[in-house]
């Protein structure tokens, strides 16, 4: 292991605090080639652009796209690549334009659009980072993707405010995205019915104190939602499951004049075999809303709205502090290649995807 040296010797004086001592290199859990197992590698501390913040990572969370991207490098990340798209940690270096917003030693949470969070250090853009306040480090690492996806869907793109006091059906309400969606709906005054299949998922839904829980593996989802809503259907339906079997049920329980929020691009949803959802929803006289966090990274029309996502992250901290939003962490993976590989495999099998699974990077 190389001796730590003051980073300032390696960087322009404007870019990094004079007080921090950092290693020249750090450990990262990388994919050498798509489809190969995770391996521990050393990376060099990166040079900072003016809007960059260097973070020493405490925790990063696993999102469904991580095991997917480990198998197929659809974003063409340069090899070898490090996954992990959200984190909590401590600010250890600042680009010249970041010094008003943050200082060295600040405890923050955030996201990286280019991955690299299953590592000891990451460089993230100032606009994608917020102070974590009273949120503990493990919980804080879960907001950058799963929570933000639910927030973007319901608060920014969907019209959750207009459904106050009405029913929402959250398909997959114990998943990473779903358990945030259910809580956001509750704190906007909606009555929440959520579904899950695994025993551990159903236990989490009990803990979340939803108004009604459906075990989709044993119960008839359509019948349950219809009974609950007096045959009218749910005014708001949120389906982040990417499964054809769920789409087939969720599309037919949306109420006339209601809203159906579907997550993901046309291509992603088509891969799940669900091209017909839109026509079913519209045939029921409801509005189809398509939500996709990824478009804020790739579409200039959405990129200019990034500040609204950052406000969403600040809102998460405030909701946590007021006791209204609690990420459910169901497992913590050590900073070890075999352990992360195992967690990826379990995610793809669907055995560990209850609430959030985090990686302890510190
Ligand atoms: N486009 C975007 O912006 C974006 C952003 C984030 C995530 N995503 C995608 O969104 C999806 C969800 O992500 P996630 O992190 O929440 O995944 P996750 O943690 O695996 O959650 C999926 C949930 O779906 C439930 N489920 C599976 N089949 C179901 C069915 N027929 N009916 C009801 N529930 C069902 C599962 O419950 P049981 O395990 O109990 O069966 C599980 O809790 C993933 O495909 C992810 O790639 C997209």
CATH numbers and ranges of domains, the chain: 5-142+327-360 (3.90.180.10), 150-295 (3.40.50.720)
User: Is 197 touching ligand 1 by the criterion CB < 6 Å?
Assistant: yes
Q: Which residues pair with 200 in a beta bridge?
A: none
User: Is 89 touching ligand 1 by the criterion CB < 6 Å?
Assistant: no
Nearest atom, ligand 1, residue 202 CA? 40
- Round to whole Å and give the CA distance between 137 and 282: 43
Which residue's CA is minimally distant from atom 48 of ligand 1?
264
- Round to whole Å and give the CA distance between 352 and 357: 8
pLDDT of 264 reads 80
pLDDT of 272 reads 67
Which residue's CA is minimally distant from atom 41 of ligand 1?
197
Nearest atom, ligand 1, residue 200 CA? 40
User: Is 61 touching ligand 1 by the criterion CB < 6 Å?
Assistant: no
CA 63 to chain centre: 6
User: Is 145 touching ligand 1 by the criterion CB < 6 Å?
Assistant: yes
Low-confidence ranges of the chain (pLDDT < 70): 1-20, 272-275
pLDDT of 22 reads 85
pLDDT of 21 reads 78
Pocket test for ligand 1, best of 61, 179, 225, 240 (most atoms within 8 A of CB): 240
Nearest atom, ligand 1, residue 178 CA? 16
């Amino acid at each position: 292991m190389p001796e730590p040296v003051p980073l300032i010797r390696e960087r322009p004086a404007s870019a990094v605090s004079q007080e921090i001592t950092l290693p020249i290199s750090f450990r990262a859990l990388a994919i050498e080639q798509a489809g190969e197992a995770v391996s521990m590698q050393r990376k060099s501390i990166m040079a900072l652009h003016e809007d960059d913040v260097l973070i020493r990572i405490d925790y990063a969370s696993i999102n469904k796209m991580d095991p997917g991207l480990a198998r197929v490098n659809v974003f063409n990340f340069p090899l070898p690549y490090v996954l992990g798209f959200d984190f909590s940690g401590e600010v250890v270096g600042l680009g010249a334009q970041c010094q008003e917003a943050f200082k060295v030693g600040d405890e923050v949470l955030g996201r990286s659009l280019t991955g690299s969070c299953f590592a000891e250090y990451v460089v993230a853009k100032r606009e994608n980072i917020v102070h974590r306040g009273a949120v503990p480090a493990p919980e804080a690492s879960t907001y950058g993707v799963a929570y933000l996806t639910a927030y973007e869907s319901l608060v920014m793109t969907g019209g959750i405010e207009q459904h106050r006091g009405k029913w929402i059906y959250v398909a997959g309400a114990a998943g990473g995205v779903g358990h945030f969606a259910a809580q956001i709906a509750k704190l906007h005054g909606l009555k929440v019915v959520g579904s899950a299949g695994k025993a551990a998922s159903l236990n989490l839904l009990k803990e979340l104190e939803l108004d009604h829980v459906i075990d989709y593996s044993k119960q008839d989802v359509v019948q349950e939602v219809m009974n609950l809503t007096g045959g009218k259907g749910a005014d708001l339906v949120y389906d982040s499951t990417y499964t054809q079997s769920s789409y087939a049920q969720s599309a037919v329980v949306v109420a006339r004049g209601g809203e159906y929020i579907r997550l993901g691009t046309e291509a992603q949803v088509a891969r799940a075999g669900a091209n017909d959802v839109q026509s079913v929803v519209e045939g029921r006289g409801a509005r189809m809303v398509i939500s996709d966090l990824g478009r804020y990274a790739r579409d200039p029309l959405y990129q200019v709205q990034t500040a609204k996502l950052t406000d969403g992250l600040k809102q998460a901290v405030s909701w946590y502090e007021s006791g209204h939003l609690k990420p459910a962490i169901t497992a913590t993976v050590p900073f070890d290649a075999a352990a992360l590989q195992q967690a990826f495999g379990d995610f793809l099998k669907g055995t560990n995807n209850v609430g959030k699974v985090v990686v302890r990077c510190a």
